[in-house]
A = this chain, B = another copy of it.
């Protein structure tokens, strides 16, 4: 069940943190690690801090951009320490584990950002929801490997809980596997083009509109049949424009 869960570390500068994160993952039974633009990797310090979890490091996938790292995933959850002003759905680590483990047969990415600045808004835009680890209000400086440890711990707690409950629990949500990131990318391109065609979006003006629409539809976790309906609507709107053009 944990093979479907990918931990994605974005822009980590201290290799020790990568090793510590790998160890944190392995203690809880996770093995799928992806690294986006690590400053230094592979690295002796990472291996040293992994202390026995070097197999996780050896199998880590390397990516040079964030979008590429999540293409095969159906549910993308971004961790964040800060309160953001914009309305992402916010999950606790416990709710994150619940969401992750009750969607069977689909790949989930849980994203951790840079040591000092976390994830960018552009990266969070590609997430379905934000996971916020509760911290002290006066000192929220959680180490990235410690954050991985907490999330992985909650996944383990939840999986142990699920193993003692009837299978019915898992079947419940089998119809609501979210669309893949690739399908969502195509949907957003179609949406953007349609908004241009109907004159709602000026491609020369800033893209805050698309960011807001990304956030809106990402947090909905569209399933394939819904993406098809929405793209059908977009096509119908585009045809209206074309039909009447001289």
The answer to whether A24 touches B200, judged by C-beta atoms less than 8 angstroms apart, is: no
Chain A to chain B contacts (Cβ below 8 Å), 13 pairs: A23-B143, A24-B143, A26-B141, A27-B146, A52-B141, A90-B173, A136-B156, A150-B153, A200-B236, A209-B229, A216-B220, A240-B241, A243-B244
Choice from B28, B136, B222 contacting A216 with Cβ under 8 Å: B222
The answer to whether A26 touches B139, judged by C-beta atoms less than 8 angstroms apart, is: yes
The answer to whether B200 touches A226, judged by C-beta atoms less than 8 angstroms apart, is: no
CB nearest neighbor in B for A226: B216
Chain A interface mostly: helix
For the complex with contacts A26-B139, A52-B139, 14 further pairs of A-B residues with Cβ separation under 8 Å are A20-B143, A27-B146, A28-B136, A51-B141, A53-B141, A93-B153, A146-B146, A149-B150, A150-B150, A153-B153, A199-B240, A200-B236, A200-B237, A212-B226
Give chain A's interface residue range (CB within 8 Å of chain B).
35 or more
Which residues of A in the span 28-48 have a Cβ within 8 Å of any Cβ on B? 28-29
A183 within 8 A of B: no
A117 to chain B, nearest CB (A): 15
Which residues of A in the span 75-93 have a Cβ within 8 Å of any Cβ on B? 85-87, 89-90, 92-93
Which residues of A in the span 194-228 have a Cβ within 8 Å of any Cβ on B? 195, 198-200, 209, 212-213, 216-217, 219-220, 222-223, 225-226
The answer to whether A237 touches B198, judged by C-beta atoms less than 8 angstroms apart, is: yes
List B contacts of A134 (CB < 8 A): 28, 153, 156-157, 160
A224 to chain B, nearest CB (A): 11
A94 within 8 A of B: yes
A1 to chain B, nearest CB (A): 13
CA distance A89 to B92 in the complex (A): 29
A170 within 8 A of B: no
